Amino acid sequence: MTEPKRHKRSAGLLLFRRTGGATEVLLGHMGGPLWAGRDAGGWAIPKGEYGPDETPRDAARREFAEELGLPPPEGAYLPLGEVRLSSGKLVTIWAVEADLDPALMEPGTFTMEWPPHSGREQEFPELDRVAWFAPPLARNKLMISQIPFLERLLVLLEG
């Protein structure tokens, strides 16, 4: 009997802040040449994959530190639940109220062959920049699969 296929799991942190009565969320623009010219749909919640030996929350904190080069914020972690992507990957996100200066980011990197089939490996930032966005603009910037987390945060804050 074959073992069932295990789908990948990913976890992350959606930072939010309230300034002058308005809410903003921190998003990261995907790094690397495949995302370089894409703005709408090219931003994401800082997150990453984890294995069976790590809890989702610990993974979310680790991935935040790896992708932004900054310690994860302390404070109340508000669960925004899970979303299963069409690939089967299960994404779990927490919201945390915190302020962060985007200029302090020192992104982690990844390596890929670029240009394709060149045999040349190049290093790229996981996120090439982070920025604060009001929810209407964040909806336009976010990858479609992550919009439910923004919506859940807004319901939670209104409640």
Which residue type does 57 have? R
Q: Tell me the per-residue pLDDT of 76-128, one tens digit each, with 9 for 90 and over.
A: 999 999 999 888 999 999 999 999 999 999 998 899 999 899 999 999 999 99
pTM (predicted TM-score):
0.91
Task: For 118-148, give the secondary structure using H, E and C.
Answer: CCCEEEEECEEEEEEECHHHHHHHECHHHHH
The rounded distance, in Å, linking the Cα atoms of 48 and 45 is: 9
Q: Tell me the per-residue pLDDT of 123-158, one tens digit each, with 9 for 90 and over.
A: 999 999 999 999 999 999 999 999 999 999 999 999
